A and B are shown apart, each in its own frame.
Chain A
Amino acid sequence: MSAVTHARSDAADHAVEGRVFGMVGEFDTPHDILEAVKAVRAAGFTCIDTHTPFPIHGMDAAMGLRPSILPFMVLAGGLTGTVSAFALQWWMNAFDYPFRIAGKAYFSYQAYVPICFELTVLLSAFTTVFGLFALCRLPRPYHALFTHPRFARITDDAFMISIEASDPSWDEAKAREVLAKAGGKEITLIRDLEP
């Protein structure tokens, strides 16, 4: 019991001393956060992120996000599936071990289509899921934002904007002021627990 308490107070001390990660502000509605993120960008911040319980229409444009490269990864994954399925079947049935089935030709490409289709779908789906993991750098058991006691609410009813200290135009006072002016509440400085 005492060990746990001790560890917790250690962490708390560290948090106070840890380097600054960024500034977080809360907003009430999807509309508010959409307008706020435009204001934050207009103030010159670029290393920003929004945290909402559900996707908000128009947020990508408001945040100035570039289109994701994920679709191209999925296309590559899908085509890999098509080609490898075709090659697999040709190699097995027509080349390495020619085997007559139902009186059809050894190279019966008509029969290959379902497997090509299935493997295309399979590798497309895998690329989508694992590509997303890679692009989001998941799984991520720790992130500086998790130290914010209110952060868990972004999966429930909170809309948050974070401005990161790695921003070229980072300034603690300015970040606080811009978030406040945009209507932000509970504006909190976040420190990174990790060295």
Chain B
Amino acid sequence: MSATERIIADARLQLLPSDANRYATIFGIVGLAGLGYTALGFFNEADKADALMSYLVAYVYGATILVGCMFFGTLQHLVGARWSTTLRRLAESVGAVTPLLAVLFLPLLWGMGTIWSWANGRPQPADVLAKVGYLNTQFFVIRAVIYLVVWAVIGTWFYRKSVEQDKTGDPLLTKSMRKASSVAVILFGFTISFAGFDWVMSLDPTWPSTMFGVYTFAGSMISSLSTIALAAHLLQRSGYLKGVITVENYHDLGKLMFGFIVFWAYIAYSQYMLIWYANIPEETAWYRTRWENGWSTPATALCILHFTVPFFAMLSRTAKRNALAMMSVAVLILVMHYVDLFWVIMPVRRPSFEVTVRDITALVGIAGLCLAGIFNRLGAAALIPVKDPYVHSSLEYDNG
């Protein structure tokens, strides 16, 4: 028995079914309560628009994280990564919850005319009418169905194949997942970009930004990397996966987090700078509404807490290899990703910056239901792909 085989044999690789069920139930109930409170607003004419907007922010928050984790899992197959094998099941388990997104999309579909001004059925300005070939309700629904089906299929397929390998140990499964990943990654690239255009950017139907899709991807990526880091650390702190996820694995995950912190800032600034420089009224209006009437507070917070602080916090090798530092940055990023989406989406509805109880309950609702799904998936299989051909390479991995 080799050293890595002994570590795997000794570690707890399976969530206790009682634990998994308990957490899934608790988060499920909390989630339903949160959504229930938010939904009360849906059926009250005075609150309907505001409640749906709170729900949209929370939905996009959940969707970007789930889909980002799904992408992380497929990416490891595409590049034949060995360092990350022990982290991959966590990403796959989160990614396997993507079918839930289809169900959670229903309120948005129902409230479509209230959320997106171009879909409200009233006469539209000429520059919105010019886009009617793309921004019409039928095509919008078709596209949403495509995104949701693609994510659900990719998420469940990779999870299922990976779990199948736990039983059979068949290395051909790795090969078939690698083949499928090339298609999955391309589909992910298109769907995440266009979901960003459709669900978020089209809230201001006259405002164009060609890099908005990349902005959505950047936020999705950094928040899902933070989710994986946080999940791995929390599981290890609860006594699972002892010695299976090593400091070398965390170090590499930290490098990716650091890279995507910079990437997010780079994209966010590039989008801003081009518009600021060109100074065209229909473009700058978007930033103006997001700077006035108190909205400069979340905007400034984004500069400092979504970039500057995490950048310096994750700069050194020591920080990337330190559990507490990485968990703190991960939590900060997960909070700031919500602030980012709130700042991008909410000014469409609220002229001045304010946070309501329903914003929180919608977030609790979406997060609760997603976590219930995640615990359900985590409990249904081992926490690492135990018979993946690369699992030992991942344990032996050394940054040198």
Chain A positions near chain B (C-beta within 8 angstroms): 55-60, 67, 71, 75, 102-104, 110-111, 113-114
Contacts and interface: CB of A to CB of B under 8 A. Distances in A.
8 contacts: A58-B398, A67-B317, A71-B316, A75-B315, A110-B273, A110-B277, A111-B277, A113-B269
B124 interface: no
Contacts of A114: 273
Contacts of B272: 110
Nearest to A60: B400
B297 interface: no
Contacts of B190: none
B179 to A, nearest CB: 30
B120 interface: no
A183 B317 CA distance: 34
Nearest to A102: B279
Interface in B217-272: 269, 272
A71 B317 contact: yes
Contact of B400 (A57, A67, A102, A113): A57
B276 interface: yes
A56 B400 CA distance: 7
Interface in B386-400: 398-400
Interface residues of B, number: 12
Given A71-B316, A71-B317, A110 B398 contact: no
Contacts of B279: 102-104
Contact of A57 (B273, B276, B277, B398): B398
Contacts of B399: 57
A71 B272 CA distance: 31
Contacts of B273: 110-111, 113-114
Interface of B: 269, 272-273, 276-277, 279, 315-317, 398-400
| Nearest 4 CB-CB pairings of A with B | A57-B400, A57-B398, A110-B276, A58-B398
Contacts of A75: 315
B269 A102 contact: no
B19 to A, nearest CB: 37
A102 B316 contact: no
A143 B30 CA distance: 71
B262 to A, nearest CB: 10
A102 B398 contact: no
A193 B316 CA distance: 42
Nearest to A103: B279
A187 B214 CA distance: 59
Contacts of A57: 398-400
B156 to A, nearest CB: 37
A2 to B, nearest CB: 51
Contacts of A59: 400
Contacts of B317: 67, 71
B257 to A, nearest CB: 18
B341 to A, nearest CB: 23
Nearest to B318: A67
A102 B315 contact: no
Contacts of B400: 55-60
A114 B377 CA distance: 45
A57 B279 CA distance: 52
Contacts of A56: 400
Contacts of A102: 277, 279
Contacts of B316: 71
Contacts of B315: 75
Contacts of A113: 269, 273
Nearest to A113: B269
Given A57-B400, A59-B400, A111-B277, 13 more contacts: A56-B400, A57-B398, A57-B399, A60-B400, A71-B316, A71-B317, A75-B315, A102-B277, A103-B279, A104-B279, A110-B277, A111-B273, A113-B269
Contacts of A58: 398, 400
A113 B148 CA distance: 38
B140 to A, nearest CB: 34
Nearest to B266: A117
Contacts of B277: 102, 110-111
A114 B270 CA distance: 9
A71 B320 CA distance: 14
Contacts of A60: 400
A143 B399 CA distance: 31
Nearest to A111: B277
A76 B271 CA distance: 29
A164 to B, nearest CB: 24
A55 B277 CA distance: 46
Contacts of B276: 110
Nearest to A67: B317
Contacts of B269: 113
A58 to B, nearest CB: 6
B139 to A, nearest CB: 37
A56 B399 CA distance: 10
Nearest to B272: A110
Nearest to B277: A111
- The residue in B277, B315, B316, B317 that gathers the most chain A C-beta atoms within 10 A of its C-beta is B277
A75 B319 CA distance: 15
A103 B276 CA distance: 12
A125 to B, nearest CB: 16
A69 to B, nearest CB: 13
